[in-house]
Amino acid sequence: MSEAYITRIAKFLPNESVSNEEMEEYLGYINGKPSKSKAIVLRNNGIKNRYYALRKDGTPTHTNAQMAALAIKDLFKANPAEIGEMDLLSCATSSPDQLMPSHASMVHGNLPDAASIEVVSPSGVCCAGMHAFKYAYMAIKLGEKQKAVSCASERLSTVLRADQFEDEVQQLAKLEKNPYLAFEKDFLRWMLSDGAGAFLLEPAPNQEGISLKIDWIEGCSYANEIEACMYMGAQKLDDGSLKSYKDYSAEQIQEQSIFSIKQDVKLLGEKIVKLGFAKFKDILAQKGMTMDEVSYFLPHLSSYFFESKIEEFFKENDMCVPKEKWYTNLVTKGNVGAASIYMMLEEVFNSGALKKGEKIMLAVPESSRFSYMFCLLTVC
């Protein structure tokens, strides 16, 4: 089999960064009042800036597919004509612009200089970006493709705006006592961000500069054991099952904000670190390696609240990773879902700090129904 290398990484961030103080100028005020949960959530998640593909009046500035296409174009900025040599486009998102056509098809449609090529659209949430990456990795390993691009992008800001919740707020029976949406719906508004990232994968490393050899990519799901934790386009019933938006009337969808993103916060806290990082420990044992061999540890965090939880798990399991090896950009970019790991790796890759032989570990937990992806890279 061929080897597979990441040879270039690019990102696209829409507009200017948005500070904590400005957030409600973009997302609006539910029931006309500042959020009571905002300060609590921001204190715990540690995010100070994020990006939105919209203006303060709610007007969108970019579609999801446009942002993905702009990140991909940036891979080829030194030679724009080279985009015609791309032979695979693997694009992931949890927030496509439409249900049909597929997200990757729409991204391809925004790349008129590309050739007629294979496109694939892994669905999911945070792990979807890693699934897109693994598809491209396997295509290169098999020798089927020579210039594969994987991409992940998110545009969730429009569904976080207050006007998406106003009708439900007006329906609350005890509006005077509870004028805001339940915490399970409101808290994600202060965590999510827009943007896109892209990798170029090839069967040989760059002749000049660094590349990242892909040693392995492993993943697992616990959906067979655990009910859904984060969901959208559905309602969670008392028995833990999800009722699809397809089974609600148009009026019910509006009244109950079925298309808002919801999170079972209690389930998240109980399971997200415990499940995935126990599996991570098993994977390392199977690979015959320890975290001592790793130079950079890049965990995708939805909130800095979970940083200490991962650290505690590592200490309890003799997997200590010194904090100087950790890297995350959550504080400056926010949680960009499937694209977060791309943006973190882009900053490390283009920092000028990497040295040949160093190893980089990627860890991506996904709370939607508890899926996890892990990847080891070697600088070469």
Helix, coil or strand: residue 268: helix
**Location of structure tokens 């399971």:** 271
Amino acid at 335: N
Average pLDDT value for residue range 9-24: 97
Class of CATH domain 214-222+263-379: alpha beta
Q: At residue 177, does pLDDT exceed 60?
A: no
d(CA 115, CA 108): 9
174: confidence class by pLDDT, cuts 50, 70, 90: very low
pLDDT tens profile 239-265? 999 999 999 999 999 888 888 888 888
DSSP element (H, E) containing 150: strand 148-154
The C-alpha angle with vertex 105 and arms to 193 and 146, in degrees rounded to 5, equals 95
Percent of the residues in the chain that have a pLDDT greater than 90, as a whole number: 79
Pairwise CA distance, residues 362 & 285, whole Å:
16
Per the rule left: phi > 0, alpha: psi between -120 and 50, beta: everything else, 372 is beta
Reported as a single tens digit per residue, the pLDDT across 85-110 is 999 999 999 999 999 999 999 999 99
pLDDT of 183 > 70? The answer is no
Q: Residue 184's pLDDT band (boundaries 50, 70, 90)? A: low
Q: Which residues pair with 373 in a beta bridge?
A: 219, 364
CATH topology for the 5-207 domain: Peroxisomal Thiolase; Chain A, domain 1 (3.40.47)
What stretch of H or E contains 100?
Answer: none
pLDDT digits (tens, 9 = 90+) for 325-368: 999 999 999 999 999 999 999 999 999 999 999 999 999 999 99
Would you say 60 and 54 are in contact if contact means Cβ atoms under 8 Å apart? yes
Confidence bin at 178 (pLDDT 50/70/90): very low
The confidence band for 173, taking pLDDT boundaries of 50, 70 and 90, is: very low
Over 70: is that where the pLDDT of 186 sits? no
Q: What is the pLDDT of residue 166?
A: 58
Q: Where are the alpha helices (DSSP H) in 122-249?
A: 128-141, 166-171, 183-186
Whether 214-222+263-379 and 5-207 are alike in CATH topology: the answer is yes
Parse the chain into domains and list their residue ranges: 5-207, 214-222+263-379
**DSSP track, 176-187:** TT--S--HHHHG
Q: Of the ranges 17-26, 41-50, 181-190, 288-297, which one carries the lowest mean pLDDT score?
A: 181-190
pLDDT at 302: 87
Please, how many CA atoms are within 13 Å of residue 244, restricted to the half-sphere of its CB? 2
What's the confidence (pLDDT) of residue 149? Answer: 99
Rounded to the nearest integer, the mean pLDDT of the chain is 92
Give per-residue pLDDT as tens, 201-223. Answer: 999 999 999 999 999 999 999 99
- Determine if residue 147 is left, alpha or beta; phi over 0 gives left, psi from -120 to 50 gives alpha, anything else beta: beta
**pTM, full prediction:** 0.94
For 44, residues 6+ apart whose C-beta sits below 8 A from its C-beta are 303, 304, 305
Q: For the residues 23-45, what does the mean pLDDT come to?
A: 86
